[in-house]
Amino acid sequence: MKTVSKLWLIFCFIAAIAPAILLGNAVFHYTVDLIFADEWGIALSYLYFLQGNLSFEWLITQQNESRLFFPKLIFVGLAILNNFQYNTFNNSILTFSTACLVSLNVFLLSRFTLPLAAWQHLLLVALANLLIFSPMQHDNWDWGIQLIVFLPIACVTTALVVTKLKLKFSVIALLTALLGTVSTFSYANGMLFWGIVYPTLLVTQVPSFKQLKHFAIRRWKPLSIWLAYAVLNIGYYFHNYKKPVGHPSFLEALKKPVDAIRYLLAFLGAPLGAGNLLTAQIMGSLLLICFVWIGIEAWRRRNREGWLQVIYPWLCIGAYTLISAIVTTAGRLGFGVIQAIDSRYTTFSAYGWVALVYLVAALLLNHDPTALPQPKRGQLLRSSAIGLLVIMLVVQSFSWSYGQRRMKLQHRYRLYGKSCLLAQELVIETDCMKAFVFPPFIAMDGFVQSISKELNHRNGWELDLMTLREVDAAISSQNAKDTLYGYLDTAFSQDINGYFKFGGWAVLPEYKYPAHGVMLVALDAKGTSTPLAIAPVDKKRRDVAKVIGTSDYRSQRFGWEMNVPKERIPSDATQVIGLAIDTHTGKLHKLAGVSQLQLFTQDLRQNKSTSEPN
């Protein structure tokens, strides 16, 4: 019997950590060391550090709505530990580690609040971990700067754990206040900490609801100081605050109440929505109904001894999601209802479902049929809990599958973006840079290039910008006899509406993966090279799988196509070749096959001569 019990406990432990292992493996394989979008602001901070110009004013300065003081310090510290080289992969690993801290806090709160056996705590945290480590947060897992969205909930759950420790109240107040500062100056959402955690201080170590007033009076001094400190933090946050340009008005929700409700519901249900707006709104409605029901049931039990200590951590975590949903709806509705299911927001909404799991468990454990007017209430409660569990598990399976597919797709796009970033000194692919490196690339012309060059010059990152010398070396080098990196299929190309089309396939056999990008290079009769374009490798090519045997490759999209503008091609070019890009090493590998340009270079020369004045 003891052996069976031990085996069952081991099984429950594996079930509890399995979501973290699966997600950790995905983060490890799909995260790309690429500075993307808002993270260029963090890279600029690190550049200032290398230049000796990093100041408190810059660390605390506003970026969008947030003041990222602590994340900037953390990222600079990580770069220092990484041989003074900035690496977004390390940032993502720290993000995953922060999620692990949140999971540990949830487990500890479970042990503090619910009188269950060890295996029962493990099964509950297994359900919670399906949400905490859900790949539905794909934008946050593989984007280094997104540590900022995990820090507030990490601070909130850590503060809740602190309130459960056997410490003097003054010490608890001090520790939670410090956590509040970290939360506030990590992300705009972190300001919710003060409104969520203050009620927990009121009920900390209070045996019952009836004694709440008595304990509040006894603790009025530390509570008042805590409140004053909260006001100072929030006041300093809004000092010289400027509303970001282009962000919608908070009054938008009042003008469009129906859309606001739809946005709110979609936001709440997004972790279980599998990327579908309607599904997210249905699940959001379910969560809201459950919260109303739980609120009623919790209030009925308010005078029970010890009930307050059981319920308050989970109510606070649920409030974190609900208030986040309301604030986000007010501030983002102008971008459209569909934005509510953006994966970046699921890190806020997932914890509403985590709270729901534990609130239902608390109600089941604290059910007293004899004290209720309806004898079947307990049976109804258990049936509802089982039904809710089944719905969550079924929908979670679809959401996990969707999230994993998105992580794979995003990995491919990030590798292409990194190819364009590394090749920016040779050829600028504007569409690629806008989509996968820095969205305001055109509006802030030269911003990315200047930071990249300076980081490259100071050896401040692990990347190396490609040079024409490396291109020429790749063209003249010979691949190993048994190594084929791909083929340029287009033997000839013709002008179609001002573009010349090239295509083929490219792989990196050493990684069992398609090439991260393909650089097209024009050559003239003397062998002078001119990089023309960077093509994404994202097309299905079943014929390639048959030729080189790629069944063990992690992706089967080996094909590439690229329309090169006529103006990019030098008038004296005679042929175009392709180079497979390996962004991990910065190496270029020559593809087999050549596209001859003799058919249209003459037309180019004629067009050039006819356009010149007599």
Q: Assign 599 a pLDDT band (cuts: 50, 70, 90).
A: very low
CATH of domain 466-611: 2.60.40.10
- Answer yes or no: is pLDDT of 468 > 90: yes
Measured over the CA atoms of residue 590, residue 591, residue 596 and residue 601, the dihedral's sign is negative
HEC assignment per residue over 94-140: HHHHHHHHHHHHHHHHHHHHCCCCHHHHHHHHHHHHHHHCCHHHHHH
- Answer yes or no: is pLDDT of 612 > 70: no
Q: Assign 434 a pLDDT band (cuts: 50, 70, 90).
A: very high
pLDDT at residue number 378: 57
How far apart, in whole angstroms, are the C-alpha atoms of residue 537 and residue 370?
67
pLDDT at residue number 6: 86
pLDDT at residue number 600: 46
Q: Quick one: how far is CA 100 from the chain centroid? A: 15
Mean pLDDT of 553-558: 79
Collapse the DSSP code of 405 into the 3-class scheme (helix H, G, I; strand E, B; otherwise coil) and give the result. helix
DSSP 412: H
Q: Assign 2 a pLDDT band (cuts: 50, 70, 90).
A: low
CB atoms closer than 10 angstroms to residue 164: 19
Least confident of 37-41, 249-253, 355-359, 401-405: 249-253
Mean pLDDT of 129-155: 95
Q: Residues 6 or more apart from 553 whose CB is under 8 A from it?
A: 507, 512, 513, 514
pLDDT at residue number 613: 44
How far apart, in whole angstroms, are the C-alpha atoms of residue 114 and residue 108?
10
Compute CA distances 613 → 608, 609, 610, whole Å. Answer: 10, 8, 8
Mean pLDDT of 403-423: 94
Here the tokens at position 258 are 């129906």
CB 328 within 8 A of CB 253: no
- Answer yes or no: is pLDDT of 113 > 70: yes
pTM: 0.90
Compute CA distances 171 → 181, 201, 242, whole Å. Answer: 16, 11, 35
Q: Which residue has the higher pLDDT, 556 or 432?
A: 432
Q: Which residue carries 């490219």 as its tokens?
A: 506
Least confident of 1-10, 16-25, 508-517: 1-10
Mean pLDDT of 67-74: 95
- Answer yes or no: is pLDDT of 603 > 80: no
Q: Name the pairing type of β-strands 517-524 and 573-582.
A: antiparallel
pLDDT above 70: percentage of residues in the chain: 92
Mean pLDDT of 522-543: 90
Mean pLDDT of 535-551: 81
pLDDT at residue number 544: 81
The per-type count for the chain, helices as H runs and strands as E runs, is 23, 13
Mean pLDDT of 332-343: 91
CB atoms closer than 10 angstroms to residue 444: 11
How far apart, in whole angstroms, are the C-alpha atoms of residue 249 and residue 210?
43
- Answer yes or no: is pLDDT of 375 > 70: no
Q: Assign 285 a pLDDT band (cuts: 50, 70, 90).
A: very high
How far apart, in whole angstroms, are the C-alpha atoms of residue 585 and residue 284?
45
Least confident of 77-81, 350-354, 443-447: 443-447
Mean pLDDT of 178-205: 94
CB atoms closer than 10 angstroms to residue 208: 15
Q: Assign 609 a pLDDT band (cuts: 50, 70, 90).
A: very low
Which burial class, exposed, middle or buried, applies to 342 when counting CB atoms under 10 A from its CB (0-12, 13-18, 19+)?
middle
- Answer yes or no: is pLDDT of 584 > 80: yes
CB 203 within 8 A of CB 196: no
Here the tokens at position 452 are 């990249």
pLDDT at residue number 61: 93
Q: Assign 346 a pLDDT band (cuts: 50, 70, 90).
A: very high
Mean pLDDT of 488-513: 83
Nearest to 346 by CA among 23, 118, 34: 23
DSSP 492: B
- Answer yes or no: is pLDDT of 4 > 70: no
Here the tokens at position 543 are 């014929």
- Answer yes or no: is pLDDT of 193 > 60: yes
Q: Which residue has the higher pLDDT, 373 or 55?
A: 55
Q: Assign 29 a pLDDT band (cuts: 50, 70, 90).
A: very high
Which burial class, exposed, middle or buried, applies to 529 when counting CB atoms under 10 A from its CB (0-12, 13-18, 19+)?
buried
Q: Assign 204 a pLDDT band (cuts: 50, 70, 90).
A: confident
Terminal CA-to-CA distance of the chain, rounded, Å? 101
pLDDT at residue number 41: 92
Instruction: For the chain, give every domain's residue range.
Output: 2-33+87-411, 466-611
- Answer yes or no: is pLDDT of 484 > 90: no
How far apart, in whole angstroms, are the C-alpha atoms of residue 90 and residue 96?
10
pLDDT at residue number 380: 59
How far apart, in whole angstroms, are the C-alpha atoms of residue 307 and residue 362?
9
Listed in sequence order, the DSSP H helices in 252-367 are 252-255, 257-269, 277-300, 307-332, 346-365
- Answer yes or no: is pLDDT of 605 > 60: no
Q: How high is the mean pLDDT of the chain?
A: 88
The residue type found at 183 is S
pLDDT at residue number 493: 66
pLDDT at residue number 48: 93
Q: Assign 297 a pLDDT band (cuts: 50, 70, 90).
A: confident
The residue type found at 378 is G
Task: Using CA atoms of 59, 61, 66, 68 in order, give the dihedral in degrees to the nearest 10.
Answer: 0
Q: Assign 214 a pLDDT band (cuts: 50, 70, 90).
A: confident
pLDDT in tens, 157-173: 999 999 999 999 999 99
- Answer yes or no: is pLDDT of 445 > 70: yes
Least confident of 167-181, 291-305, 419-433: 291-305
How far apart, in whole angstroms, are the C-alpha atoms of residue 306 and residue 65?
40
pLDDT at residue number 611: 42
Task: Using CA atoms of 3, 5, 10, 11 in order, give the dihedral in degrees to the nearest 10.
Answer: 110
